[in-house]
Amino acid sequence: MATQTPKQPPAPPATRPTPGGNDSDSVVLERRTQRVGPPQMYQVVMLNDDFTPMEFVIVVIQEFFGKDHGTATQIMLKIHLDGKGVCGVYSRDVAATKVDQVMEAAQKSGHPLQCVSEPVE
């Protein structure tokens, strides 16, 4: 059993800069303001297929992208005629979530609807 109490290590000697003196060990960093740009945006794009009913596409656009019936119909027609259509533009994480939601809804309903997200250029 120990009978002596442990000793404290000696404190390092304190150094003070001399007022008005030139301290050769000091480093002065220049403070610069950082400018952060807006995040990269991604567009959620639905792809056309010959098997998914147009009514299902309209319902999906209304439900997951918050579009009214007229706008959802216009987007659906663009998908049908051009092969793909943009449903919305979001940040990367939100766009990925929207794609997952659409793909899950299509899979549960038995439709081969495809949806992807692409960076906005």
- Give the lowest-confidence range in 5-9, 71-75, 113-117: 5-9
Give the residue with greater pLDDT, 12 vs 50. Answer: 50
Q: What is the pLDDT of residue 43?
A: 98
pTM for the structure as a whole: 0.71
Return d(Cα 118, Cα 12) in angstroms, integer: 58
Q: Which two tokens stand for residue 48?
A: 């056309």
Q: Which of 5-19, 45-59, 100-114 has the weakest average pLDDT?
A: 5-19
Please give the pLDDT value at position 30. Answer: 85
On whether the CB atoms of residues 114 and 87 are closer than 8 A, the answer is no
Using CB atoms within 10 A of its CB, is residue 41 exposed (0-12), middle (13-18) or buried (19+)? middle
Using 50, 70 and 90 to split pLDDT, how confident is the model at 102? Answer: very high
Tokens coding 52: 């998914």
Candidates 85, 86, 117; CA nearest to 100 is 117
